[in-house]
Amino acid sequence: MSSRLFVATRKGLFRLDRKRSGWAIGEVSFLGDNVSMVLPDRRDGTLYAALALGHFGVKLRRSRDVGATWEEITAPAYPPLPEGAEPDKTPDGREWPQRVELLWSLEAGREDQPGQLWCGTIPGGLFRSTDHGQSWELMRSLWEHPTRKGWFGGGYDWPGIHSICVDRGGVTIGISCGGVWRSTDEGATWETRTKGMYAEYMPPERRDDPGIQDPHRVVACAAQPDALWTQHHNGLFRSTDGGKTWREVTSVRPSKFGFTMAVHPKDPETAWVVPAKKDEQRVPVDGKVVVARTRDGGETFTVLDKGLPQANAFDLTYRHGLDVDGTGNVLAFGTTTGSLWISEDGGDSWQTISNHLPPVYAVRFAEGAADA
Amino acid sequence: MPRVTFTQHIARHVPCPARDVEGRTVREALDAYFTAEPAVRGYVLDEQGVVRKHVVIFVDGHQTTDRTSLGDAVGEGSVIYVMQALSGG
Protein backbone atom coordinates (compact mmCIF):
# COMPACT_ATOMS: atom_id res chain seq x y z
CA MET A 1 0.00 0.00 0.00
CA SER A 2 1.09 3.57 -0.53
CA SER A 3 2.85 5.14 2.42
CA ARG A 4 3.10 8.67 1.11
CA LEU A 5 0.47 11.28 0.34
CA PHE A 6 0.79 14.78 -1.08
CA VAL A 7 -1.80 17.43 -0.30
CA ALA A 8 -1.96 20.57 -2.46
CA THR A 9 -3.63 23.47 -0.67
CA ARG A 10 -4.34 27.19 -0.86
CA LYS A 11 -1.31 27.79 1.34
CA GLY A 12 1.27 25.18 0.51
CA LEU A 13 2.08 21.60 -0.38
CA PHE A 14 2.08 19.07 2.44
CA ARG A 15 3.76 15.68 2.41
CA LEU A 16 2.41 12.96 4.67
CA ASP A 17 4.30 9.79 5.45
CA ARG A 18 2.90 6.60 6.90
CA LYS A 19 5.06 5.66 9.84
CA ARG A 20 4.70 2.90 12.38
CA SER A 21 2.69 5.28 14.56
CA GLY A 22 0.43 6.27 11.66
CA TRP A 23 0.11 9.06 9.12
CA ALA A 24 1.88 12.31 9.95
CA ILE A 25 2.42 15.60 8.18
CA GLY A 26 6.08 15.98 7.27
CA GLU A 27 7.72 18.20 4.71
CA VAL A 28 5.85 21.41 3.81
CA SER A 29 6.77 23.12 0.55
CA PHE A 30 5.69 26.55 -0.73
CA LEU A 31 4.19 27.55 2.61
CA GLY A 32 1.87 30.50 2.03
CA ASP A 33 1.57 29.91 -1.70
CA ASN A 34 -1.37 28.62 -3.69
CA VAL A 35 -0.60 25.09 -4.94
CA SER A 36 -3.24 24.17 -7.51
CA MET A 37 -2.01 20.67 -8.35
CA VAL A 38 0.66 18.11 -7.50
CA LEU A 39 1.84 15.11 -9.49
CA PRO A 40 4.04 12.39 -8.01
CA ASP A 41 5.22 10.68 -11.19
CA ARG A 42 5.05 6.93 -10.55
CA ARG A 43 7.49 6.25 -13.40
CA ASP A 44 10.58 7.89 -11.96
CA GLY A 45 9.65 9.41 -8.60
CA THR A 46 9.81 12.99 -9.86
CA LEU A 47 7.44 15.36 -8.13
CA TYR A 48 5.73 18.24 -9.93
CA ALA A 49 3.89 21.11 -8.25
CA ALA A 50 1.74 23.70 -10.00
CA LEU A 51 1.53 27.09 -8.32
CA ALA A 52 -0.93 29.91 -8.87
CA LEU A 53 0.79 32.89 -7.31
CA GLY A 54 -1.73 35.59 -6.59
CA HIS A 55 0.45 38.34 -8.01
CA PHE A 56 2.94 36.66 -10.26
CA GLY A 57 1.06 34.10 -12.30
CA VAL A 58 1.18 30.33 -12.70
CA LYS A 59 4.44 28.51 -12.11
CA LEU A 60 5.60 24.93 -12.39
CA ARG A 61 8.19 23.43 -10.06
CA ARG A 62 9.93 20.05 -10.13
CA SER A 63 11.62 18.06 -7.38
CA ARG A 64 13.83 15.02 -7.74
CA ASP A 65 14.09 14.49 -3.97
CA VAL A 66 10.41 14.17 -2.96
CA GLY A 67 10.06 17.84 -2.12
CA ALA A 68 13.29 18.62 -0.25
CA THR A 69 14.45 20.93 -3.05
CA TRP A 70 12.66 22.37 -6.09
CA GLU A 71 13.60 23.86 -9.43
CA GLU A 72 11.46 26.12 -11.58
CA ILE A 73 10.61 24.72 -15.00
CA THR A 74 8.65 26.14 -17.89
CA ALA A 75 4.94 26.47 -17.27
CA PRO A 76 2.47 25.94 -20.10
CA ALA A 77 1.72 29.21 -21.90
CA TYR A 78 -0.39 30.31 -24.83
CA PRO A 79 1.33 31.40 -28.03
CA PRO A 80 0.70 34.96 -29.25
CA LEU A 81 -2.30 35.57 -31.42
CA PRO A 82 -1.42 35.78 -35.10
CA GLU A 83 -0.90 39.34 -36.34
CA GLY A 84 -4.24 41.06 -36.81
CA ALA A 85 -6.29 38.20 -35.32
CA GLU A 86 -9.14 39.07 -33.00
CA PRO A 87 -9.31 37.26 -29.64
CA ASP A 88 -11.88 34.49 -29.44
CA LYS A 89 -15.12 35.22 -27.61
CA THR A 90 -17.01 33.07 -25.16
CA PRO A 91 -20.71 32.35 -25.74
CA ASP A 92 -21.59 35.36 -23.57
CA GLY A 93 -19.37 37.68 -25.59
CA ARG A 94 -16.34 38.00 -23.36
CA GLU A 95 -12.85 37.82 -24.81
CA TRP A 96 -11.25 34.47 -24.18
CA PRO A 97 -7.93 35.25 -22.45
CA GLN A 98 -4.80 34.11 -24.25
CA ARG A 99 -3.21 33.64 -20.85
CA VAL A 100 -2.97 30.61 -18.55
CA GLU A 101 -4.87 31.42 -15.36
CA LEU A 102 -4.56 28.07 -13.59
CA LEU A 103 -2.75 24.77 -14.03
CA TRP A 104 -5.72 22.61 -13.11
CA SER A 105 -4.69 19.07 -14.01
CA LEU A 106 -1.34 17.37 -14.40
CA GLU A 107 -0.88 13.74 -15.39
CA ALA A 108 1.91 11.41 -16.31
CA GLY A 109 2.03 9.86 -19.77
CA ARG A 110 2.27 6.18 -20.50
CA GLU A 111 4.93 3.92 -19.02
CA ASP A 112 6.64 3.63 -22.40
CA GLN A 113 6.76 7.43 -22.82
CA PRO A 114 8.82 8.32 -19.75
CA GLY A 115 9.16 12.07 -20.29
CA GLN A 116 5.59 12.67 -21.34
CA LEU A 117 3.31 14.83 -19.21
CA TRP A 118 -0.14 16.29 -19.82
CA CYS A 119 -1.47 19.50 -18.32
CA GLY A 120 -4.99 20.92 -18.45
CA THR A 121 -5.48 24.60 -17.80
CA ILE A 122 -7.99 27.37 -17.25
CA PRO A 123 -8.83 28.68 -19.79
CA GLY A 124 -9.37 25.33 -21.44
CA GLY A 125 -6.08 24.49 -23.06
CA LEU A 126 -4.49 21.06 -23.11
CA PHE A 127 -0.69 21.03 -23.13
CA ARG A 128 1.76 18.19 -23.58
CA SER A 129 5.42 17.89 -22.65
CA THR A 130 7.76 15.18 -23.90
CA ASP A 131 10.77 16.24 -21.83
CA HIS A 132 9.70 16.05 -18.18
CA GLY A 133 8.17 19.53 -18.26
CA GLN A 134 11.12 21.42 -19.74
CA SER A 135 8.90 22.58 -22.60
CA TRP A 136 5.19 22.42 -23.43
CA GLU A 137 3.15 22.29 -26.59
CA LEU A 138 -0.45 23.50 -26.85
CA MET A 139 -2.67 20.80 -28.37
CA ARG A 140 -3.85 22.96 -31.22
CA SER A 141 -6.00 20.16 -32.56
CA LEU A 142 -8.30 20.64 -29.57
CA TRP A 143 -7.80 24.39 -29.11
CA GLU A 144 -8.71 25.07 -32.71
CA HIS A 145 -11.65 22.67 -32.77
CA PRO A 146 -14.67 24.70 -33.88
CA THR A 147 -16.76 23.74 -30.86
CA ARG A 148 -14.16 24.93 -28.34
CA LYS A 149 -15.47 28.49 -28.44
CA GLY A 150 -18.81 27.17 -27.21
CA TRP A 151 -17.37 25.92 -23.91
CA PHE A 152 -18.11 28.00 -20.83
CA GLY A 153 -16.93 28.31 -17.27
CA GLY A 154 -18.11 26.03 -14.50
CA GLY A 155 -16.89 26.92 -11.04
CA TYR A 156 -14.46 29.41 -12.58
CA ASP A 157 -14.96 32.28 -14.98
CA TRP A 158 -13.44 30.35 -17.87
CA PRO A 159 -13.75 26.77 -19.02
CA GLY A 160 -11.03 24.42 -17.84
CA ILE A 161 -9.63 20.93 -18.32
CA HIS A 162 -9.62 19.13 -15.00
CA SER A 163 -9.44 15.44 -15.88
CA ILE A 164 -6.88 13.64 -18.05
CA CYS A 165 -7.00 9.85 -18.23
CA VAL A 166 -4.06 8.31 -20.10
CA ASP A 167 -4.12 4.69 -21.23
CA ARG A 168 -2.47 2.57 -23.89
CA GLY A 169 -5.22 3.30 -26.38
CA GLY A 170 -5.39 7.06 -26.02
CA VAL A 171 -6.24 10.02 -23.81
CA THR A 172 -9.63 10.97 -22.39
CA ILE A 173 -10.20 14.42 -20.92
CA GLY A 174 -12.98 16.14 -18.98
CA ILE A 175 -13.83 19.82 -19.32
CA SER A 176 -16.06 22.08 -17.21
CA CYS A 177 -18.04 22.96 -19.19
CA GLY A 178 -17.01 21.36 -22.46
CA GLY A 179 -17.83 17.68 -22.17
CA VAL A 180 -15.67 14.57 -22.39
CA TRP A 181 -13.25 14.13 -25.27
CA ARG A 182 -10.96 11.36 -26.45
CA SER A 183 -8.02 11.13 -28.78
CA THR A 184 -6.67 7.80 -29.99
CA ASP A 185 -3.99 9.23 -32.29
CA GLU A 186 -1.57 10.96 -29.89
CA GLY A 187 -3.67 14.10 -29.80
CA ALA A 188 -3.87 14.68 -33.54
CA THR A 189 -7.67 14.55 -33.54
CA TRP A 190 -10.37 14.59 -30.86
CA GLU A 191 -13.96 13.50 -30.64
CA THR A 192 -16.61 14.06 -27.98
CA ARG A 193 -17.62 11.14 -25.78
CA THR A 194 -20.78 12.19 -23.98
CA LYS A 195 -23.58 10.05 -25.44
CA GLY A 196 -25.96 9.32 -22.60
CA MET A 197 -25.03 12.37 -20.55
CA TYR A 198 -27.49 15.22 -20.27
CA ALA A 199 -27.46 18.73 -18.82
CA GLU A 200 -30.25 19.75 -16.47
CA TYR A 201 -28.84 23.27 -16.25
CA MET A 202 -29.39 24.10 -19.93
CA PRO A 203 -32.49 24.88 -21.98
CA PRO A 204 -34.16 21.73 -23.31
CA GLU A 205 -32.79 22.27 -26.83
CA ARG A 206 -29.23 22.06 -25.52
CA ARG A 207 -29.73 19.24 -23.01
CA ASP A 208 -27.80 16.61 -24.94
CA ASP A 209 -25.22 18.93 -26.54
CA PRO A 210 -21.82 17.24 -26.05
CA GLY A 211 -19.88 20.50 -25.81
CA ILE A 212 -21.78 21.92 -22.85
CA GLN A 213 -21.77 18.92 -20.55
CA ASP A 214 -20.22 19.60 -17.17
CA PRO A 215 -18.33 16.54 -16.01
CA HIS A 216 -16.95 17.63 -12.65
CA ARG A 217 -14.49 14.76 -12.57
CA VAL A 218 -13.74 11.88 -14.94
CA VAL A 219 -11.77 8.86 -13.70
CA ALA A 220 -10.74 5.58 -15.32
CA CYS A 221 -9.99 2.21 -13.78
CA ALA A 222 -6.25 1.71 -14.20
CA ALA A 223 -6.55 -2.03 -14.93
CA GLN A 224 -9.54 -1.62 -17.27
CA PRO A 225 -9.34 1.88 -18.75
CA ASP A 226 -12.52 1.44 -20.80
CA ALA A 227 -14.33 1.55 -17.45
CA LEU A 228 -14.93 5.23 -16.79
CA TRP A 229 -16.89 7.05 -14.11
CA THR A 230 -17.98 10.67 -14.09
CA GLN A 231 -19.31 12.85 -11.32
CA HIS A 232 -21.29 15.21 -13.52
CA HIS A 233 -22.95 18.46 -12.47
CA ASN A 234 -26.30 16.71 -12.38
CA GLY A 235 -25.39 13.23 -11.27
CA LEU A 236 -23.22 10.18 -11.76
CA PHE A 237 -22.55 8.50 -15.08
CA ARG A 238 -20.70 5.32 -15.92
CA SER A 239 -19.21 3.99 -19.14
CA THR A 240 -17.85 0.53 -19.90
CA ASP A 241 -16.84 1.24 -23.49
CA GLY A 242 -14.24 3.96 -23.15
CA GLY A 243 -16.80 6.76 -22.99
CA LYS A 244 -18.62 5.95 -26.23
CA THR A 245 -21.82 5.56 -24.23
CA TRP A 246 -22.71 6.56 -20.69
CA ARG A 247 -25.37 5.28 -18.35
CA GLU A 248 -26.75 7.38 -15.52
CA VAL A 249 -26.26 5.92 -12.06
CA THR A 250 -29.20 6.98 -9.93
CA SER A 251 -28.77 4.92 -6.79
CA VAL A 252 -26.13 7.12 -5.18
CA ARG A 253 -26.94 8.39 -1.70
CA PRO A 254 -27.38 10.76 0.11
CA SER A 255 -27.35 12.99 -3.00
CA LYS A 256 -26.21 12.93 -6.59
CA PHE A 257 -24.34 16.24 -6.47
CA GLY A 258 -20.63 16.48 -5.85
CA PHE A 259 -17.34 17.25 -7.47
CA THR A 260 -14.91 14.43 -6.88
CA MET A 261 -14.81 10.75 -7.76
CA ALA A 262 -12.36 7.85 -7.48
CA VAL A 263 -12.43 4.38 -8.98
CA HIS A 264 -10.69 1.27 -7.67
CA PRO A 265 -7.48 0.73 -9.66
CA LYS A 266 -8.20 -2.98 -10.26
CA ASP A 267 -11.96 -3.36 -9.86
CA PRO A 268 -14.01 -1.16 -12.20
CA GLU A 269 -17.20 -1.95 -10.28
CA THR A 270 -15.93 -0.20 -7.15
CA ALA A 271 -15.98 3.59 -6.93
CA TRP A 272 -16.31 6.37 -4.35
CA VAL A 273 -17.85 9.84 -4.31
CA VAL A 274 -18.17 12.54 -1.66
CA PRO A 275 -21.69 13.92 -2.06
CA ALA A 276 -22.77 17.47 -1.29
CA LYS A 277 -26.36 18.62 -0.91
CA LYS A 278 -27.04 20.24 -4.27
CA ASP A 279 -25.82 22.78 -6.77
CA GLU A 280 -27.46 25.68 -4.95
CA GLN A 281 -26.17 24.57 -1.54
CA ARG A 282 -22.69 23.13 -1.72
CA VAL A 283 -22.37 21.69 1.77
CA PRO A 284 -22.79 18.15 3.14
CA VAL A 285 -26.33 16.83 3.43
CA ASP A 286 -27.65 17.51 6.97
CA GLY A 287 -24.22 18.65 8.15
CA LYS A 288 -22.84 15.11 7.90
CA VAL A 289 -19.65 14.35 6.01
CA VAL A 290 -19.96 10.99 4.26
CA VAL A 291 -18.39 9.01 1.45
CA ALA A 292 -20.59 6.89 -0.81
CA ARG A 293 -19.15 3.64 -2.21
CA THR A 294 -20.44 1.19 -4.74
CA ARG A 295 -18.98 -2.27 -5.21
CA ASP A 296 -21.41 -3.41 -7.89
CA GLY A 297 -20.98 -0.92 -10.68
CA GLY A 298 -23.47 1.55 -9.28
CA GLU A 299 -26.41 -0.78 -8.62
CA THR A 300 -26.19 0.01 -4.91
CA PHE A 301 -24.24 2.40 -2.72
CA THR A 302 -23.12 2.20 0.89
CA VAL A 303 -22.89 5.43 2.85
CA LEU A 304 -19.65 5.41 4.85
CA ASP A 305 -19.47 7.66 7.90
CA LYS A 306 -17.35 5.91 10.51
CA GLY A 307 -14.83 8.41 11.83
CA LEU A 308 -16.34 11.33 9.90
CA PRO A 309 -18.17 14.28 11.55
CA GLN A 310 -21.93 13.71 11.67
CA ALA A 311 -23.16 17.11 12.84
CA ASN A 312 -22.53 20.75 11.94
CA ALA A 313 -19.93 19.94 9.29
CA PHE A 314 -19.67 22.12 6.20
CA ASP A 315 -16.78 20.54 4.33
CA LEU A 316 -16.85 20.50 0.56
CA THR A 317 -14.50 18.27 -1.42
CA TYR A 318 -13.26 19.68 -4.70
CA ARG A 319 -12.66 17.75 -7.92
CA HIS A 320 -9.17 16.52 -7.08
CA GLY A 321 -9.75 16.25 -3.35
CA LEU A 322 -10.20 12.45 -3.24
CA ASP A 323 -7.67 9.77 -4.18
CA VAL A 324 -7.22 6.03 -3.85
CA ASP A 325 -3.89 4.26 -3.80
CA GLY A 326 -2.70 1.44 -6.06
CA THR A 327 -4.10 -1.29 -3.81
CA GLY A 328 -7.58 0.19 -3.70
CA ASN A 329 -7.57 -0.01 0.09
CA VAL A 330 -6.14 3.35 1.11
CA LEU A 331 -8.13 6.49 0.41
CA ALA A 332 -7.73 10.12 1.37
CA PHE A 333 -9.91 13.16 0.96
CA GLY A 334 -9.40 16.79 1.85
CA THR A 335 -11.86 19.66 1.97
CA THR A 336 -12.33 23.37 1.49
CA THR A 337 -12.43 23.84 5.24
CA GLY A 338 -9.05 22.21 5.76
CA SER A 339 -10.05 18.77 6.93
CA LEU A 340 -8.13 15.70 5.82
CA TRP A 341 -9.21 12.11 6.38
CA ILE A 342 -7.54 8.82 5.47
CA SER A 343 -9.02 5.33 5.32
CA GLU A 344 -6.97 2.14 5.18
CA ASP A 345 -9.92 -0.21 4.73
CA GLY A 346 -11.49 0.93 1.49
CA GLY A 347 -13.55 3.63 3.17
CA ASP A 348 -15.16 1.52 5.91
CA SER A 349 -13.55 3.74 8.55
CA TRP A 350 -11.71 7.04 8.50
CA GLN A 351 -9.07 8.67 10.65
CA THR A 352 -8.80 12.42 11.01
CA ILE A 353 -5.38 13.71 10.00
CA SER A 354 -6.18 17.40 10.45
CA ASN A 355 -9.06 19.82 10.65
CA HIS A 356 -6.78 22.84 10.34
CA LEU A 357 -5.14 22.68 6.95
CA PRO A 358 -5.59 25.45 4.38
CA PRO A 359 -8.35 24.77 1.85
CA VAL A 360 -7.44 21.52 0.08
CA TYR A 361 -7.34 21.43 -3.72
CA ALA A 362 -5.81 18.03 -4.44
CA VAL A 363 -4.66 14.89 -2.66
CA ARG A 364 -2.47 12.31 -4.38
CA PHE A 365 -0.80 9.14 -3.21
CA ALA A 366 2.74 8.48 -4.34
CA GLU A 367 3.09 5.09 -5.94
CA GLY A 368 6.00 3.04 -7.17
CA ALA A 369 9.29 4.86 -7.45
CA ALA A 370 7.98 7.83 -5.51
CA ASP A 371 7.69 5.64 -2.44
CA ALA A 372 11.46 5.30 -2.25
CA MET B 1 20.83 54.77 -16.96
CA PRO B 2 17.44 53.98 -15.43
CA ARG B 3 17.45 51.59 -12.52
CA VAL B 4 14.98 48.70 -12.16
CA THR B 5 14.14 47.47 -8.65
CA PHE B 6 11.69 44.85 -7.39
CA THR B 7 9.56 44.19 -4.37
CA GLN B 8 10.88 41.55 -2.00
CA HIS B 9 7.68 39.60 -2.70
CA ILE B 10 9.13 38.56 -6.05
CA ALA B 11 12.57 37.92 -4.60
CA ARG B 12 10.97 35.23 -2.46
CA HIS B 13 10.37 33.24 -5.64
CA VAL B 14 13.14 34.25 -8.03
CA PRO B 15 16.36 36.26 -7.65
CA CYS B 16 15.76 39.78 -8.98
CA PRO B 17 18.63 42.09 -8.06
CA ALA B 18 18.34 45.80 -8.86
CA ARG B 19 20.06 46.64 -12.14
CA ASP B 20 20.93 49.73 -14.17
CA VAL B 21 19.75 49.19 -17.73
CA GLU B 22 19.43 51.00 -21.04
CA GLY B 23 16.02 52.20 -22.14
CA ARG B 24 13.84 55.23 -22.83
CA THR B 25 10.52 53.61 -22.00
CA VAL B 26 9.37 51.15 -19.36
CA ARG B 27 9.18 48.48 -22.07
CA GLU B 28 12.73 49.07 -23.25
CA ALA B 29 14.10 49.13 -19.71
CA LEU B 30 12.28 45.97 -18.67
CA ASP B 31 13.27 44.17 -21.88
CA ALA B 32 16.89 45.02 -21.10
CA TYR B 33 16.44 43.79 -17.57
CA PHE B 34 14.83 40.51 -18.66
CA THR B 35 17.65 39.90 -21.12
CA ALA B 36 19.98 39.86 -18.12
CA GLU B 37 17.53 38.09 -15.78
CA PRO B 38 15.23 36.02 -18.00
CA ALA B 39 13.61 34.08 -15.14
CA VAL B 40 12.02 37.27 -13.79
CA ARG B 41 10.01 38.04 -16.91
CA GLY B 42 7.15 35.61 -16.22
CA TYR B 43 6.64 37.05 -12.75
CA VAL B 44 6.00 40.56 -14.08
CA LEU B 45 4.46 39.98 -17.51
CA ASP B 46 2.11 37.30 -18.79
CA GLU B 47 2.87 35.26 -21.89
CA GLN B 48 1.51 38.05 -24.12
CA GLY B 49 3.84 40.64 -22.61
CA VAL B 50 1.11 42.42 -20.61
CA VAL B 51 1.72 43.45 -16.99
CA ARG B 52 0.15 40.85 -14.70
CA LYS B 53 -3.15 41.92 -13.20
CA HIS B 54 -1.81 42.16 -9.66
CA VAL B 55 1.54 43.75 -10.42
CA VAL B 56 2.03 47.54 -10.46
CA ILE B 57 4.91 49.55 -11.89
CA PHE B 58 6.03 52.98 -10.68
CA VAL B 59 8.43 55.36 -12.40
CA ASP B 60 9.97 57.87 -10.00
CA GLY B 61 7.05 57.40 -7.64
CA HIS B 62 4.29 57.72 -10.25
CA GLN B 63 2.20 54.69 -11.08
CA THR B 64 2.21 53.80 -14.77
CA THR B 65 -1.07 53.20 -16.55
CA ASP B 66 0.01 51.72 -19.86
CA ARG B 67 0.00 48.07 -18.88
CA THR B 68 0.03 46.68 -22.40
CA SER B 69 2.66 48.51 -24.44
CA LEU B 70 4.52 49.93 -21.40
CA GLY B 71 5.16 53.14 -23.26
CA ASP B 72 5.73 55.41 -20.25
CA ALA B 73 8.94 57.40 -20.68
CA VAL B 74 11.86 56.94 -18.34
CA GLY B 75 14.81 59.33 -17.92
CA GLU B 76 18.50 58.72 -17.44
CA GLY B 77 18.18 58.88 -13.67
CA SER B 78 14.75 57.28 -13.32
CA VAL B 79 13.98 54.49 -10.91
CA ILE B 80 11.45 51.88 -12.00
CA TYR B 81 9.81 50.08 -9.10
CA VAL B 82 8.02 46.78 -9.76
CA MET B 83 5.64 46.10 -6.88
CA GLN B 84 2.85 43.74 -5.97
CA ALA B 85 -0.64 45.21 -5.93
CA LEU B 86 -2.45 44.89 -2.64
CA SER B 87 -5.15 42.95 -4.41
CA GLY B 88 -4.63 39.43 -5.61
CA GLY B 89 -2.66 37.91 -2.77
Give me the mean pLDDT over the A186-193 stretch.
Answer: 96
Q: Which of A29, A31, A56, A71 to mutate to test the interface with B (most CBs of B within 10 A)?
A: A56
Count of C-beta atoms within a 10 Å radius of residue B60: 12
Assess whether pLDDT exceeds 80 at residue A371. Answer: no
| pLDDT value of position A245 | 98
Q: Where are the domains of chain B?
A: 3-84
Q: What single-letter DSSP state applies at residue B87?
A: S
Q: What is the ipTM of this complex?
A: 0.86
Chain segment A93-119, per-residue pLDDT in tens: 888 999 999 999 999 999 999 999 999
| pLDDT value of position A368 | 62
Kindly list the residues from chain B whose CB atom is less than 8 angstroms away from the CB atom of residue A81: 48
Q: How far is B58 from chain A (nearest CA, A)?
A: 16
| pLDDT value of position A372 | 37
Assess whether pLDDT exceeds 90 at residue A162. Answer: yes
Percent of chain B past pLDDT 70, that is, above it, reads 97
Sorted by where each starts, the structural domains of chain A and their CATH numbers stand as 4-81+93-371 (2.130.10.10)
Q: How far is B40 from chain A (nearest CA, A)?
A: 10
User: Closest to B48 (Cβ–Cβ): which among A55, A72, A80?
Assistant: A80
| pLDDT value of position A249 | 98
Q: Which of A16-30, A85-99, A167-181 has the lowest mean pLDDT?
A: A85-99
Give me the mean pLDDT over the A120-142 stretch.
Answer: 97
Q: With cut-offs at 50, 70 and 90, classify the pLDDT of residue A143.
A: very high
| pLDDT value of position A367 | 85
| pLDDT value of position A370 | 39
Among chain B residues, the shortest Cα distance to A57 is held by B43
User: Closest to A56 (Cβ–Cβ): which among B47, B50, B52?
Assistant: B52
Assess whether pLDDT exceeds 60 at residue A369. Answer: no
In angstroms, the CA A137 to CA A127 distance is: 5
Radius of gyration of chain B (CA): 12
- CATH hierarchy code of domain B3-84: 3.10.20.30
Assess whether pLDDT exceeds 90 at residue A2. Answer: no
Indicate the average pLDDT of chain A. Answer: 95
Percent of chain A past pLDDT 90, that is, above it, reads 90
Chain segment A242-281, per-residue pLDDT in tens: 999 999 999 999 999 999 999 999 999 999 999 999 888 8
Q: With cut-offs at 50, 70 and 90, classify the pLDDT of residue B89.
A: low
Chain segment A23-76, per-residue pLDDT in tens: 999 999 999 999 999 999 999 999 999 999 999 999 999 999 999 999 999 999
Q: With cut-offs at 50, 70 and 90, classify the pLDDT of residue A92.
A: confident
Assess whether pLDDT exceeds 90 at residue A16. Answer: yes
